[in-house]
Amino acid sequence: MAFMSVLFAISIFVLLPIVGFLSFSVYVFYRHWRYQHIPGPTRDGFFSGNIPFIQNETRRVPGSGINACHFQWYQKYGPLFVFWIFHVPIVVIVDPDMAKKAIITLNLPKASRVYSKAASVFGQRVVGRGILTEIDHETWHRKRAMLNPAFHRKYLMNLMESFNSVGEEFLEELRKKADGKTSVRMADEFAKVTLDIIGKVGFGINLGTIADPNSKFPSAVSKTLKGIESSFRNSFWRLQFSMFPFQNSVIKSIKYLRAFAAKVIEERCSAVRDGEDTPKDVLEHILREAMENPHLDIEDLVDNFLTIFLAGQETTSNQLSFTLYEILKQPEIEKRILKELEEILGSRNDLEFEDLSKLEYLGQVLKEGLRLHPPVASIQRMLPKGDSFGGYKLPPNTNVTVSYIGIHKSSKFWENSDVFDPDRFSPVHKENILQFSYSPFSLGPRSCIGKTLAQVEAKVLMARVLREFKCELLPGQTAAEEENVTLRPRDGVICTLTTRK
């Protein structure tokens, strides 16, 4: 009897894994079958999907990632294709009309599989359920409505003094390096100034990152973003002991940022209670959300605080870096910008809000920078009920990726698509731009809340840098993109600076 019991236990121990493996294999086979009618690259393995190819590509081209693979597959398989992350199918769209259907017409919800990785990294809450990562549409809509006034043009009009004052601090630091010899990594410099601007105009705080090379804030932001990217790339981080030191450093950075944000929020709350005059800024609207929703705690408020800091700084910094690179590669573009600045500003250094709309050519240059180097390459949505796209029926609960960078760089939608040409956005030519083919800030109701602020910031900083300095790229600099949470300039846009006479 005892022998039979042992034999039975051994049989169960042996058979259960076999049954589990066979069941999972049938499940994977079924998923493959459901998407077999959709074009796409051949899977490298039954269970691994296209992971081996993606890994090989990222090793072959330093800094590249999934978006580079998307563009290769788009050129081979067309505007809609499916690829596999292990057993998970991802349908990629590279077409303006299909993008409109997904983002605007159907208003597909965000894919929790993706955005949860920014909400929490290595088990540590980062942006939680802020407006970027909030999946529930009704909750997101309430949060967005609460914050919208802080990003309205009427509010931004009153902030030009802050934009200019931080811009002047930025120039003052760059002047110390403007000897025509010192190498200046402009991507790093833009990262610091954009942090200071968001701190001042959004939260009424002086971070001092421009002048203080030892400031903890920018390094904590950088480390946190690297952690988010690592969690996107590596689903098995819990099992990789070699990553533990990196994970610990990321967790420390996240804790520092959240503690910093909580302190700023608590100090503002105290000022309001004491009847002090406080800025009508983003932070005020975050606090208003708390007043209207008493169930929210300090951690909920910190979520939106960090969302705006992390998303706003990284995207604008990268836009400025890439665009400066493209300007410096074409001296005639720089000459046209300087001529326009002279005509509009004259002897003035500071920009007024009314100047921004008059700087038309600079606006075209910045738009073209966003076309060729969009800060966010793609967005991810979930198709809950199934639908037809491009003549293909997609099953319910399909993961859908809209590749904005693919649309922006496609020769099907843009003439000479790989050429940096600001004139394509001129009044004469912009009517030729196909609707929904230009979406650097996404489409639909969940488009970037800070897009107007970002473009005011970009115009002010680019105008002041180009007017003040003659910048020259060091040999070997390229526009190569490094895929992280956003697309960054891999080489850093390293220049020498000389003060203009």
Strands 398-403 vs 378-383: parallel, antiparallel or unpaired: antiparallel
- With a CB cutoff of 8 Å and minimum separation 6, the contacts of 259 are none
**3-state SS assignment for residue 474:** coil
| CA–CA separation, 480 and 489 (whole Å) | 6
Would you give the distance in Å from CA 432 to the centre of its chain? 27
| Measured torsion, CA atoms of residues 367, 61, 73, 365, in degrees rounded to the nearest 10 | 10
Amino acid at 420: F
Spatial CA neighbour of 196 closest among 174, 224, 215, 178: 215
C-alpha–C-alpha distance, residues 482 and 229, integer Å: 11
CB 89 within 8 A of CB 31: yes
Could you tell me whether strands 378-383 and 120-121 are parallel, antiparallel, or unpaired per DSSP bridges? Answer: unpaired
d(CA 496, CA 65): 30
448 is in an annotated binding site: yes
Two tokens, residue 220: 């904590």
Q: Could you list the residues known to form a binding site for heme, using ranges.
A: 448
Q: Could you list the residues known to form a binding site, using ranges.
A: 448
